[in-house]
Amino acid sequence: MGNYAHDCGPPPWQREPAAVTTSSRGPLAPSAGLRASIREALQLSWPITLSLLLHAGYRVNDQFWVKDLGPDAQAAMGLTSFLLILNFAFISLLSTGTLARVAKFAGAGSWDKLRKSFCTACYSSLLWFGLIALVGWSATPWLVHQSGGSGQAAALAEEYLGTIYLVLPLIGFKPLIDSIFFGLGNTVIPMFLAGLSVALNAILNPVLIYGWWGLPAMGIEGAAWSTGISRGLSALIGIFILLRYFDLKGSLREHPTWLELKRICRIGGPVAFSHATYAICFTLILKTSVAPLGPTVQAGLAVGFNGIESLSYCGLMGPAMASASLVGRRLGAKDFVGARRGAFACLSMSVGFAAITSVVFLTAGHLLSDIYTDDLIILAEAVLYLHIVAYSQIVTAADSTLQQMMAGAGRTVHMAILNICGYISRVPLAFWMSASLGMGAAGIWWALNIANYLKLGAILILFRRLHIFSPTQPSTDE
């Protein structure tokens, strides 16, 4: 059989949005106008949003199915939340840079360079994810202790996190493959792969946790194994589709280059360091401010953050991530007007969704939290968390979208510096408001809001100074 793309034209999932007129190999055509740019932004955004919602289903699935293991298991999920974000920081070193490079080459029609970037990213990830898994598994007890874990909750957190590191190479490939699809301007396939993966995860979770169908009950470790198996299978299917239908056949027979890896890491490195700082700083907050308040606050945070806010975050991040793909491809095609129009359409969508989320958190926080716990004290802590973070949802949406625009343009260094400063400021601010001012958990959550407000102000100033939509902006390496 011949290649589908050559014999029959591009398959439906490879075709560009209606606003984009381009072949699978040629440069991206200029945007037709404001309405077309909005349509392109919308067509890129909604599949990413749904993909992220589906991926958030991993946390929701885990949080839901472990509840019958008791409050300590729920607290353990809360303890590991930001350690999992730390893992994602290391994964994003390659995924963020690869998205920007693939988007640039796809927009310019430089498919030989795109194949080289794809090959380099895939082979490098094998070594990188394996190294993360080895170091993380060895350091699991120390990481849990640094998160403020103690007693049975800490023991369960170690079981879950240690297993996560064993399967991390499978977990890490999924966002890398998604970033390649996003860079190609295709957000539909990752959506379907996410649906397949989360559906499999939902089936495997109770089977492995509680030992259904004659299998041994693995407890909280079963949730981690379920995540690794489902994500790994989805990533393998994604690689097959890229090689078979996206003119990348034979790419993995090429030789990865050190120069391309450096360029990927130059873009992804600052973002990865920023994500790592976020996770480390929040881990310090857990240890210095949350842990002294007891396991009920830890469990309330797990319900509010893992079970609810993680879902709303997907809604505002869908348009934000779409802006990275759109900006990268449009700038690669030298269409600066189209990049600006589409990016700000994405910004409007993200902020609009966040506004709705704020209202929902304020009016339905109790109803949403009740899904995850029957403990009235934990329920009250989760509702308190949602009521306070409701006032920063719009800020988070604007901040995230502006950052994704800069990432798509390959301009990540100054952005990362501002992020790091903002995240570090949270630690003493949370302790001061919680302990010194005696505000308790409310002080911690308000400290996060205040830090977000200040960081957005700094990001707005930086964004205006970078002029990423200007033809005179400094070009990135080829």
Output the six-digit token pair for 20. Answer: 């984009």
Amino acid of residue 260? E
Question: Please, what is the end-to-end C-alpha distance for the chain in angstroms?
Answer: 35
The answer to whether 374 touches 431, Cβ cutoff 8 Å, is: no
- At 25 the pLDDT is 53
**Residue 281 and residue 399: Cα distance in Å, rounded?**
18
The answer to whether 163 touches 221, Cβ cutoff 8 Å, is: yes
**Residue 393 and residue 120: Cα distance in Å, rounded?**
37
- At 427 the pLDDT is 93
For every residue of 167-186, DSSP letters joined together read THHHHHHHHHHHHHHHHTT-
pLDDT in tens, 266-300: 888 888 888 888 888 888 888 889 888 888 888 88
The answer to whether 315 touches 398, Cβ cutoff 8 Å, is: no
**Residue 178 and residue 320: Cα distance in Å, rounded?**
15
The answer to whether 445 touches 297, Cβ cutoff 8 Å, is: no
Burial of 315 (C-beta count, 10 Å sphere; 0-12/13-18/19+) = buried
Whole-angstrom CA distances from 7 to 2, 14, 240, 349 are 6, 14, 18, 38
The DSSP 8-state label assigned to residue 215 in this structure reads: P
Residues 6+ apart with CB under 8 A from 214: none
Burial of 80 (C-beta count, 10 Å sphere; 0-12/13-18/19+) = buried
Residue 9, SS3 per DSSP: coil
- At 7 the pLDDT is 36
HSE, CB side, 13 Å, CA atoms: give it for residue 138: 6
b/e 131-154 (16+ beta carbons within 10 angstroms → b): ebbeebeeebeebbeebbbeeebb
Question: With a threshold of 0.85, does the pTM exceed it?
Answer: no
- At 31 the pLDDT is 57
Give, in degrees to the nearest 5, the angle at Cα 22 between 20 and 25: 140
Q: Please list the ranges in the chain whose pLDDT falls under 70.
A: 1-33, 57, 59, 63, 67, 148-149, 250, 472-478
- Other beta carbons within 10 angstroms of residue 356's beta carbon come to 13
**DSSP run (H or E) holding 161:** helix 151-166
Output the six-digit token pair for 165. Answer: 């590191």
Q: Which residue has the tokens 């898994």?
A: 133
Q: Which residue has the tokens 């049975």?
A: 152
Altogether, the residues listed in the chain come to a count of 478
- At 311 the pLDDT is 77
Output the six-digit token pair for 222. Answer: 């079963």
**Residue 251 and residue 242: Cα distance in Å, rounded?**
10
Residues 6+ apart with CB under 8 A from 139: none
Whole-angstrom CA distances from 273 to 176, 304, 476 are 17, 26, 20
**Residue 189 and residue 194: Cα distance in Å, rounded?**
8
Give, in degrees to the nearest 5, the angle at Cα 423 between 417 and 429: 135
Output the six-digit token pair for 439. Answer: 């505000």
Whole-angstrom CA distances from 189 to 162, 177, 195, 366, 423 are 31, 10, 10, 35, 34
